[in-house]
Structure 1
Amino acid sequence: MLSGSLRRALAAAVVVVSGAGASTVTPTAAVADTVNRVVLRDDFSGDRGDTPDAGRWDTGGDRRNSAWLDGDGHLLLGSALRTEKTFGQAYGRAEARILVNREDGTRRPLGVLGADGQAPAGQVEVLGSDRVDGDDFHTYAVDWTPTTLTWSLDGRDVLRLTPEKDSRPYTFVLSPGSGGGYRSSGMVVDAVTVTARITTPVASKSAPAWRPFTAYRTGDLVSQRNVVYRVREPHTSLPGWDPTLVPALFLKL
């Protein structure tokens, strides 16, 4: 049921109807849709001895002696390997399941490089230890925002960096020599996933032109005069209740 103030607003709107009233035009506007989307994923499937996918990783040519697949869904790594892609989104998360003997140190099993190819400089806050033995896989992750980079181990934050400047786009690095002590066979990586917050336009054709004598539900999209609106409350439209005249019923996007 509509509130008293809303009923008064609608009554006033009816009086304002002009001869053009319900006329609309085909919209050209669009609304934005923001989602978390996987932008890189590698589970290292392939034949034993294959090199990593050059579309995902900077293999530097034939690096068979330092990075290769074991045929069982793992990457065996003897030296650092960086992503081929870079990531300039404002928000995101890089995550890797890694088996490595990790001692505390400045280098991370999952590291970050800025646009200049260097590790971002800034204020470092140690939140916990990420020392582990090499007996099992652990999940290493980096969450980034416009102002921070936060490393975690198995869901527990261990380090936060506040960069001196925005150094995006980022490149992520798998680094076996992290912390000064690691397995003689290097690092074993089970999977790597990078997820980023992506904003994409939603085609305006998904927002039909507003019409009178139409039943609208909360959340429906309508368009009028090249502007897209979201319906605030369920109602059946009448002439004069168009989005420009009844803001109580329509949220301009």
Structure 2
Amino acid sequence: MATPRLLRRCLLGSLSALLVASAAVTPARAEPAAAPAVPAAAADAQAVTFLDTFDGPAGAAVDGSKWQTETGDNVNNHERQYYTAGTRNAALDGQGHLVITARRENPAGYQCWYGSCQYTSARLNTAGRFSAQYGHVEARMKIPRGQGMWPAFWMLGTDLGQVGWPNSGEIDVMENVGFEPSTVHGTIHGPGYSGSGGIGAGYTLPNGQAFADAFHTFAVDWAPDSITWSVDGQVYQRRTPADLGGRQWVFNKPFFLILNLAVGGYWPGDPDGSTVFPQTLLVDHVSVTTSDAPAGAAVRGLAGKCVDVAGANPANGTPVQLYDCNGTAAQRWTAGADGTLRALGKCLDVASGGTADGTPVQLWDCNGTAAQRWVVTAARDIVNPQADKCLDVTGNNPANGTRLQIWTCTGGANQKWTVG
């Protein structure tokens, strides 16, 4: 079943298709005022390295080439569920979702650390099937509700079997404990900062909304020495080695993905009389997109020169400029699902969220703001909708190092962009 996230990530083609290919810069001329537009987010299917949209018939198992199913209990956290194989606790619903179901039952006499198991559920991972090192990692999900419920989307280092936990590292993209219906948590665990000592933060919905009431997108943008968490595109924390107080950063290596729904445990506490079963975790999609993959495209403009990150410097505030095309990572741009244009793991950003003519553009941490959203028109403009202005070469100057800015759209050659 086709769903909106497919349009965002896969079906609208690559960046080169969006920036209507042209062999040379066109002369300045007036363009149609109502040129059709598409979000920059529609771009760069090539940069998607993992995608599961859980399309298939109702009752079918997940794709075994992408996921394996874990079985057994978990004494380490004092969780109450037994993770089963098969499709009773993890199956497709025929509407483009994976459904992980927690039930109060023990149909096969399963034994848990505390005796006869009281609950069943499911836990899936991509170990041995897929791992990633850096990129945009996200899942769109609708979580369960109730005391004792503990859904999670997270990652472990692929060297887990060699170095053990927590030396392997753990990145929790999203965890929720049922007694906090409006809050989710993102956390890192490593040597000397694991378990209750993990380093993280929470994100709370406004006005008492509950995460169980609707689908939400949970993501991290992961780069060397940096992990940034967001919910529905809103960034709420960023962690770097500076946050560890001298302890070891163990996140510059491959990790695999995990989805599970636990019942009970030290953190959420056990279910009580208020908890209704069954409870479900609905997963709409899981994807990993590499934001600075070699598949990223050069964006050419005035005099055939390229949009370039000055000095290939990934620091916040680095100017974005016009420069001779050279094929480096500083000139490879990809598009995120949130309408961003990205290079070197960061976003093309209008400085201070400005909307005035002449506001410069720069590289900045992706933060989900309107200053980092772009639309590509059929007329080959790149427009920031918040300002309703075009990406522009300052002063129509083709010299190397000319700063890029936003400016009222004029149809001039210094506002026309192609892939080359």
Aligned equivalents of 2:325, 2:224: Cα separation in 1: 32
Aligned equivalents of 2:225, 2:287: Cα separation in 1: 22
Aligned equivalents of 1:176, 1:52: Cα separation in 2: 16
- Inter-CA distance 201–128: structure 2 relative to 1 (3 Å threshold): closer
Aligned equivalents of 1:73, 1:109: Cα separation in 2: 20
- 1:219 pairs with 2:262: no
Counterparts of 1:1-253 in structure 2 under 5 Å? Answer: 37-59=47-69, 63-77=86-100, 78-83=121-126, 84-88=129-133, 91-101=134-144, 109-117=152-160, 118=165, 119=170, 120-121=189-190, 122=193, 124-126=199-201, 128-129=203-204, 132-162=210-240, 164-167=248-251, 168-177=253-262, 180=268, 184-200=278-294, 218-219=304-305, 230=324
- Inter-CA distance 219–158: structure 2 relative to 1 (3 Å threshold): closer
The residue type paired with residue 261 of structure 2 is P
Aligned equivalents of 2:226, 2:325: Cα separation in 1: 36
- Inter-CA distance 109–102: structure 2 relative to 1 (3 Å threshold): farther
- Inter-CA distance 156–52: structure 2 relative to 1 (3 Å threshold): same
TM-score by length of 1: 0.56
- Inter-CA distance 50–132: structure 2 relative to 1 (3 Å threshold): same
TM-superposed CA distance for 1:101, in Å, is 3.2
Identity %: 29
Higher relative contact order (CA 8 A, sep 6+): 1
TM-superposed CA distance for 1:174, in Å, is 1.6
Q: Is the 8 A contact 1:103 1:132 kept in 2?
A: no
Q: Pick the structure with greater CA Rg.
A: 1
Query: Alignment partner of 1:186: what SS?
Result: strand
RMSD over aligned Cα atoms: 4.0
TM-score by length of 2: 0.36
The residue type paired with residue 156 of structure 2 is L
TM-superposed CA distance for 1:36, in Å, is 7.5
Q: Is the 8 A contact 2:154 2:258 kept in 1?
A: yes
TM-superposed CA distance for 1:159, in Å, is 4.5
- Inter-CA distance 113–100: structure 2 relative to 1 (3 Å threshold): same
- Inter-CA distance 152–63: structure 2 relative to 1 (3 Å threshold): farther
TM-superposed CA distance for 1:37, in Å, is 0.7
Structure 2: runs of 5+ lacking an equivalent: 1-43, 72-84, 101-120, 171-188, 242-247, 297-302, 307-323, 327-398, 401-420
- Inter-CA distance 51–157: structure 2 relative to 1 (3 Å threshold): same
TM-superposed CA distance for 1:50, in Å, is 1.1
Aligned equivalents of 1:98, 1:35: Cα separation in 2: 21
TM-superposed CA distance for 1:71, in Å, is 1.0
Aligned equivalents of 1:231, 1:73: Cα separation in 2: 42
- Inter-CA distance 94–113: structure 2 relative to 1 (3 Å threshold): same
Structure 1: runs of 5+ lacking an equivalent: 1-33, 203-216, 221-229, 233-248
Q: Is the 8 A contact 1:104 1:129 kept in 2?
A: no
The residue type paired with residue 290 of structure 2 is A
Q: Is the 8 A contact 1:147 1:166 kept in 2?
A: no
Comparing 137-146 and 51-60, the one that deviates more: 51-60
Aligned equivalents of 1:138, 1:109: Cα separation in 2: 13
Query: Alignment partner of 1:52: what SS?
Result: coil
Report the number of matched residues. 179
